């Protein structure tokens, strides 16, 4: 009886093992077939959606993947993916050395929080200058010499998207945005910590050369030698100004209460976002096209009648909006002017809201 039980149990185990083996074999065949059926172009496209550190790790998957990463056209180099700065520096150096230079570089995103090794930064900038002919998207977020960074764009005539966040080496250095930047295909621009210089007219108009600009984002920027920041574009559809503590002001006269005025000449503007301390006046023509507005005056410390009138004046320019979002701090006014303020708000012709 016992012997028969062992025989029966062994037979059942063998059956289970055989079935498990077949399932594993089938699964391996399915996975192998799916990978082998994918052409290199598809795999490279999938890899382009990953961080470059993750892409390099795929070289251990199989013989075919050993050198495949060298042909990616997208480089995402973020120091936050590494425990130590030295690891990041070594990794970036090897990527630039071993990458297949015959493959066009389409996207480059470099993000280094804190001090950047000057030699490595120069090497990256030189790589952009020599391989930037087909570069379409470029993002640089570093602390370093802005003059070196801005000079590497001369060969990047195919750029459609540019994101720059440059922290100066010391607090006495300004990151000036060049008055002439020849990027004829640029449609998206995102800037942080820049200073826009004015001209003889008393206006700073840094974006007029970008004739195809569709999206513009400004973070913590200043205006120098001008009272007005002019944003003029026939194609601009999306505009966001993030201005903590009212930093869009005269860079030389930081203690002056006269903040720079924002003048918009954007007949195609559809969405407008503003966050920070609302202290600037806004003016312009052709703002009737704006349909979505978001104003977040999160830095407003004390309610005043002037602030209430300033908000009211802003809203007058966006009377045709279909979507309007205002934070509670934006609507704060002193009690003695609340009834008048509320009366003015009721007069606003938001027919499409």
- Burial class, 174, CB count within 10 angstroms (exposed 0-12 / middle 13-18 / buried 19+): middle
Mean pLDDT of 217-225: 89
Q: What was the pLDDT predicted at 322?
A: 87
- Burial class, 280, CB count within 10 angstroms (exposed 0-12 / middle 13-18 / buried 19+): buried
266 phi, psi to nearest 5 deg:
-135, 80
Mean pLDDT lowest for which of 5-9, 212-216, 274-278? 5-9
Is residue 319 left, alpha or beta, with left meaning phi > 0 and alpha meaning psi from -120 to 50?
Answer: alpha
Q: Is the pLDDT of residue 117 over 90?
A: no
Please tell me the distance from the alpha carbon of residue 247 to that of residue 254, in angstroms, as a whole number: 9
Percent of the chain exceeding pLDDT 70 equals 75
SS3 284: strand
Please tell me the distance from the alpha carbon of residue 23 to that of residue 282, in angstroms, as a whole number: 68
Q: Is the pLDDT of residue 36 over 90?
A: no
């Amino acid at each position: 009886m016992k012997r028969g039980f062992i025989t029966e149990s062994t037979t059942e185990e063998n059956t289970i093992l055989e079935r498990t083996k077949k399932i594993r074999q089938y699964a391996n065949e399915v996975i192998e077939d799916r990978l082998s059926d994918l052409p290199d172009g598809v795999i490279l496209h999938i890899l382009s959606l990953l961080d470059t550190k993750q892409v390099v790790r795929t070289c251990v998957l199989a013989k075919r993947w050993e050198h495949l990463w060298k042909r990616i056209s997208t480089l995402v180099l973020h120091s936050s993916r590494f425990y130590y700065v030295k690891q990041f520096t070594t990794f970036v150096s090897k990527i630039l050395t071993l990458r297949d230079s015959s493959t066009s570089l389409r996207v480059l995103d470099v993000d280094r929080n804190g001090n950047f090794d000057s030699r490595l930064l120069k090497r990256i900038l030189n790589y952009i200058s020599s391989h930037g002919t087909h570069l379409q998207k470029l993002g640089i977020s570093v602390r370093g010499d802005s003059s070196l960074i801005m000079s590497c764009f001369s060969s990047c005539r195919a750029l459609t998207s540019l994101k720059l966040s440059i922290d100066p080496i010391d607090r006495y250095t300004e990151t000036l945005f060049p008055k002439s930047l020849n990027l004829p295909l640029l449609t998206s621009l995102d800037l942080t910590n820049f200073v826009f210089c004015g001209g003889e007219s008393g206006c700073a108009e840094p974006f007029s050369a970008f004739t195809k600009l569709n999206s513009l984002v400004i973070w913590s920027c200043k205006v120098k030698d001008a009272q007005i920041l002019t944003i003029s574009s026939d194609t601009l559809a999306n505009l966001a100004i993030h201005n903590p503590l009212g930093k869009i002001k005269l860079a030389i006269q930081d203690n002056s209460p006269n903040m720079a005025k924002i003048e918009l000449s954007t007949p195609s503007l559809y969405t407008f976002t503003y966050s920070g301390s609302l202290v600037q006046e806004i003016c312009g023509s052709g703002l009737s096209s704006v349909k979505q507005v978001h104003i977040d005056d999160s830095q407003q410390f004390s309610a005043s009648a002037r602030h209430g009138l300033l908000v009211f004046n802003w809203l007058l320019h966006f009377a045709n909006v279909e979507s309007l979002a205002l934070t509670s701090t934006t609507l704060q006014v002193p009690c003695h002017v609340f009834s008048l303020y509320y009366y003015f708000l009721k007069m606003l012709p938001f027919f499409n809201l």
